[in-house]
Amino acid sequence: MDKESILLVDDDPGGIATMGRALSGLAELHFSTNGQDALRVARECTPDVIVLDAEMPGMNGFQTCEAIKADAALVDIPVIFVTSHSGPEFEAAGFEAGAVDFIAKPIKPHLVRARVTAQLRAKRAVDELRRKSLVDPLTSVANRRRFDEEYAREWLRARRDGEPVSLLMVDVDSFKAFNDNYGHPAGDACLRQIAGALQRTAQRPADLVARYGGEEFAVLLPGTDRAGAEHLAFRLLGAIEALGIPHAFSATARHVTASIGISSYDASSDVWLEASDTARQGIDAMVLSLSSNLLLAADQALYGAKHAGRAQARFLDVANAYEPARAREISAAARDPRG
């Protein structure tokens, strides 16, 4: 489990020091002295709990809390207000802004530690439930819901920052015949082995392997251009073949194989825009259309790999999503792991 962290926000450095001593050793501590900077730090480190002074000059604690709760990436972080005020109206306003608890000034270190510990424990439980809701129970890789969330996030990030992004769609060849002849328990075991091979091969922290549906998997590759995606596709094909899962009923080989469709949005794409162009245009209809096209192109490329005989990969650029005939076999350089 990643180390938990707490963000302390107070315009008084002395208040931060006192709070820091009270929470020392409980989690990794981050500090900020105003609301705007607190938002920046929170987006960078995504703390597990935010302890927030309610009375700050400029952007006060209530406004800061409302901004935190308006950010999809931060909305689930519990916020504890620290305040010298009391009374039901003040507390009601704090809860309405999104706070989960209050700590009265002057603070009592043991009480601060107890209240923050309780929120860390609650956040831990919520995170575990969310983690389980985003994992495919059969294969233990990400499920379709997790893929959809990450795909939307990474696509917008790629467009905003002018970074490439690639997508692989992986489909197990002749899987119905495998299930029909070996039985569903063997089919489940086969999918678990393939998911493991994909996970071991796509090793970068940003890469996401997900079960897309049935015997189909998706591999999302942020910051990866077509050359990198093609090279990884070749390695995935090899990793699946190396499992050596017998398949006497396959028309392709005597063992389980897979076909892969590849699509990329990178500097070689006809629809590539520099980050400055994207900033000027904003997230418009064309950008959202390209997001759908990356999925469609990978799917069309997968169809091309199946049609060409299976156990291979095909590439189709995002700009050619509606032209499946342009899908091509991965290059010789990508097929050679030394290339």
Tens digits of per-residue pLDDT, 213-242? 999 999 999 999 999 999 999 999 999 999
Spatial contact of 53 and 83, defined as CB atoms under 8 Å apart:
yes
Distance CA 62, CA 52 (A): 9
pLDDT digits (tens, 9 = 90+) for 151-202: 988 988 888 788 999 999 999 999 999 999 999 999 999 999 999 999 999 9
Mean per-residue pLDDT, 286-307? 86
Structure letter (DSSP) for residue 319: G
pLDDT digits (tens, 9 = 90+) for 71-122: 888 999 999 999 887 778 888 888 999 999 999 889 899 999 999 999 999 9
Global pTM?
0.71
Q: What are the angstrom distances between the C-alpha of 23 and each of 45, 101, 252?
A: 18, 16, 61
Q: Name, in order, each residue with C-beta under 8 angstroms of 291's C-beta and a sequence gap of 6 or more.
A: 151, 152, 155
Q: Is the pLDDT of residue 336 over 90?
A: no
Q: What are the angstrom distances between the C-alpha of 205 and each of 3, 102, 128?
A: 17, 37, 19
HSE-up (13 A, CA, CB side) for residue 288: 4
Tokens of 214: 């049935």
Q: Is the pLDDT of residue 327 over 80?
A: yes
Q: Is the pLDDT of residue 330 over 80?
A: no
Q: Which of 150, 154, 215, 216 is catalytic?
A: 215
Distance CA 150, CA 144 (A): 10
Q: Is the pLDDT of residue 257 over 80?
A: yes
Distance CA 319, CA 252 (A): 31
Distance CA 15, CA 19 (A): 6
Tokens of 39: 């938002």
Q: Is the pLDDT of residue 274 over 70?
A: no
pLDDT confidence tier of residue 1, bands split at 50, 70 and 90: low
Distance CA 168, CA 313 (A): 9
For residue 150, how far is the Cα from the chain centroid? 4
Mean per-residue pLDDT, 289-307? 91
Return the pLDDT at 276.
Answer: 47
Distance CA 186, CA 100 (A): 48
Return the pLDDT at 162.
Answer: 86
Dihedral sign, CA of 120, 122, 125, 128? negative
Return the pLDDT at 291.
Answer: 80
Q: Is the pLDDT of residue 285 over 70?
A: no
pLDDT digits (tens, 9 = 90+) for 300-319: 999 999 999 999 999 999 98
Report the percentage of the chain scoring pLDDT > 70.
Answer: 92
Q: Which domains are delineated in the chain?
A: 5-133 (3.40.50.2300), 144-335 (3.30.70.270)
Q: Is the pLDDT of residue 284 over 60?
A: no
Tokens of 7: 């963000």
Return the pLDDT at 153.
Answer: 87
Crossing angle for the helix pair 61-69 and 88-97, to the nearest 10 degrees: 30
Average pLDDT over the chain, rounded to an integer: 90
> Is position 215 annotated as part of the catalytic site?
yes
Q: What are the angstrom distances between the C-alpha of 264 and each of 220, 288, 313?
A: 10, 15, 14
